């Protein structure tokens, strides 16, 4: 691992209806963590899932998301942070028109899922509305990284 990890710009990726940038990956952090930036539209909500290997932290930069983790429902606005620990079923929903947040996953490895489940973006813009991801393919790629899909988008923990 280099003494200092430095990136000058991550490639934009279209990931599950939004835009994602992997800023730091496991190679750059010695396997300690992944730092990604996510942008999504109002109503964006991934499938209910849990991470068997990593903790997922959401730090909102712009907008508002609701994080549903276990029995908790947490409104997270710009400057606020929420944690979904490994082993806890969770999802989120974008409440504002758009939102932008950092995802920090520890230890690293989540970047492999992001890259495998994405396609290169056409510039630094959101994907076309209505773009879909095959749920079976998404579940298979997630499982390879220790992520278990528990329900379709819109499914809440305990629901």
* pLDDT tens per residue across span 104-121: 999 999 999 999 999 999
Residue spans of alpha helices (H) in 11-151? 26-29, 110-116, 135-144
- CATH fold of 18-121+130-149: Jelly Rolls (2.60.120)
Domain map of the chain by residue range? 18-121+130-149
**Prediction pTM value:** 0.92
Answer whether residue 44 shows pLDDT above 80.
Answer: yes
Q: Which residues pair with 28 in a beta bridge?
A: none
pLDDT category at 99 given cuts 50, 70, 90 is very high
The 10 Å Cβ neighbour count of residue 128 is: 9
pLDDT of residue 3: 59
Collapsed DSSP state (helix, strand, coil) of residue 141: helix
pLDDT of residue 132: 81
Query: Peptide bond preceding 107: is omega within 30 degrees of 0, i.e. cis?
Result: yes
pLDDT category at 133 given cuts 50, 70, 90 is confident
């Amino acid at each position: 691992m280099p003494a200092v990890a430095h990136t000058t710009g991550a490639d934009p990726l279209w990931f599950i209806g939004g835009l994602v940038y992997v800023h730091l990956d496991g190679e750059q952090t010695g396997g300690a963590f992944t730092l990604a930036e996510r942008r999504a539209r109002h109503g964006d909500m991934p499938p209910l899932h849990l991470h068997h290997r990593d903790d997922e932290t959401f730090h909102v930069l712009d907008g508002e998301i609701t994080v549903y983790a276990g029995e908790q429902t947490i409104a997270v606005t710009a400057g606020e942070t929420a944690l979904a620990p490994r082993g806890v079923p969770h999802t989120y929903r974008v409440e504002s028109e758009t939102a932008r947040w950092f995802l920090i996953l520890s230890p690293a490895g989540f970047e492999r899922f992001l890259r495998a489940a994405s396609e290169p973006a056409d510039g630094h813009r959101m994907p076309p509305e209505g773009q879909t991801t095959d749920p079976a393919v998404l579940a298979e790629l997630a499982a390879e990284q220790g992520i278990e899909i528990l329900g379709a988008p819109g499914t809440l923990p305990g629901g």
